[in-house]
């Protein structure tokens, strides 16, 4: 049996209920089923997928976490206070998409949690911008044999779940997504050292570049002006507004602007390549 984990329905059989899982079925593990699903989103890093699945399993085992759309963000509030260890949160609620959003944050995928969390209608574009691979093959989506542990299945404007086991043909799904089955390690620089997560100081200033810009593609906001040296804070979707106050650094002849950007309701300050910005 291939399992999935999801936030399903309140103890009242409705969209809202008391905080916590009083039936042990509000946020639970069950056998895979076909909704049918519109797509599956698979993170290319196996370690991230594993952490996502573990976060969902922890949520399903913690009966403090119940189902309720009206207070769907209370899970994230408590999870954030516990370092996103979902086994430790107290009484709260979530719904199907906010649960997957919290788990994606816990997984280290680069996802953030905005003021109202993900919704199933916008998850495809959000996940794609974060680097998840999207598969829409109907036959694969309908069969548990192709499930990949930690993958996120979505039916837009309806429901979302996470696969908790690999199916017998999971390697075929990874191949379809263009993901290698070889083991991956933590991101490192060309020298083999871990990517830097301390914010670099801006060394240059040009008043003429101070203005608002928009990203022209999904773009990493990094701790410094070098994609092989500094880690990414978050992936900014195409069209994200960023504010530059004139500060920048240069790497290999390319200006990296020191900017402020808001992604999913959270404000970040970091560096992005000017090659992928246009004047707002």
110 pLDDT tier (thresholds 50, 70, 90):
confident
**Mean per-residue pLDDT, 33-54:** 94
CB burial string 239-250: b at 16+ within 10 A, e below: ebebebeebbbe
**What pLDDT shows up at residue 45?**
86
**Mean per-residue pLDDT, 254-268:** 90
Cα 211 vs. chain centroid, distance in angstroms? 29
**What pLDDT shows up at residue 228?**
86
Share of the chain above pLDDT 70, in %: 96
Mean pLDDT of the chain: 93
- Using alpha carbons, select from 191, 255, 259, 253 the residue that is nearest to residue 223: 259
**What pLDDT shows up at residue 266?**
80
Question: Quick one: which H or E segment has residue 80?
Answer: helix 74-81
Longest dimension (CA), the chain: 61
* Separation between Cα atoms, residue 253 and residue 258, nearest integer Å: 16
1 pLDDT tier (thresholds 50, 70, 90):
confident
50 pLDDT tier (thresholds 50, 70, 90):
very high
**What pLDDT shows up at residue 91?**
98
Hey, what are 92's tokens? 């709260």
Instruction: Quick: pLDDT tens for 182-241.
Output: 554 555 655 556 788 889 999 999 999 999 999 998 899 999 999 889 988 888 888 999
Instruction: Quick: pLDDT tens for 135-191.
Output: 999 999 999 999 999 999 999 999 999 999 999 999 999 999 998 775 545 556 555
Instruction: Flag whether pLDDT at 65 surpasses 90.
Output: yes
**What pLDDT shows up at residue 184?**
46
CB burial string 149-174: b at 16+ within 10 A, e below: bbbbbbbeeebbbbbbbbbebbeebb
**What pLDDT shows up at residue 194?**
79
**What pLDDT shows up at residue 9?**
97
Residue recorded with tokens 């246009």: 278
Question: Quick one: which H or E segment has residue 256?
Answer: strand 254-263
101 to 77, 95, 168, 185, 253: CA distances (angstroms): 12, 10, 27, 24, 37
């Amino acid at each position: 049996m291939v399992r999935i984990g999801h936030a399903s329905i309140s103890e009242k059989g409705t969209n809202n209920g008391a905080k916590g899982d009083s039936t042990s079925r509000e946020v639970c593990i069950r056998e895979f089923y076909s909704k049918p699903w519109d797509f599956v989103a698979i993170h290319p890093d196996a370690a991230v997928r594993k952490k996502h699945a573990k976060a969902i399993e922890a949520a399903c085992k913690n009966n403090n976490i119940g189902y309720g759309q009206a207070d769907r963000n209370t899970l994230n509030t408590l999870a954030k206070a516990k370092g996103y260890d979902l086994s430790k949160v107290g009484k709260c609620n979530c719904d199907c998409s906010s649960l997957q959003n919290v788990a994606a944050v816990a997984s280290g995928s680069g996802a953030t949690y905005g003021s109202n969390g993900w919704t199933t209608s916008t998850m495809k574009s959000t996940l794609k911008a974060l680097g998840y691979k999207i598969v829409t093959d109907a036959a694969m989506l309908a069969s548990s044999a192709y499930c990949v542990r930690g993958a996120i299945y979505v039916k837009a404007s309806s429901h979302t779940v996470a696969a908790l086991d690999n199916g017998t043909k999971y390697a075929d799904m990874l191949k379809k997504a263009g993901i290698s089955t070889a083991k991956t390690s933590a991101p490192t620089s060309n020298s083999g050292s871990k990517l830097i997560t301390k914010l670099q100081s801006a060394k240059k200033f040009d008043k003429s570049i101070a203005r608002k810009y928009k990203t022209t593609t999904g773009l990493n906001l990094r701790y410094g002006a070098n994609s092989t040296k500094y880690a990414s804070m978050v992936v900014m979707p195409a069209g994200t507004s960023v504010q530059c106050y004139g500060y920048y650094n240069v790497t290999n002849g390319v200006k990296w602007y020191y900017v402020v950007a808001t992604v999913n309701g959270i404000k970040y300050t970091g560096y992005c390549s000017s090659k992928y910005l246009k004047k707002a």
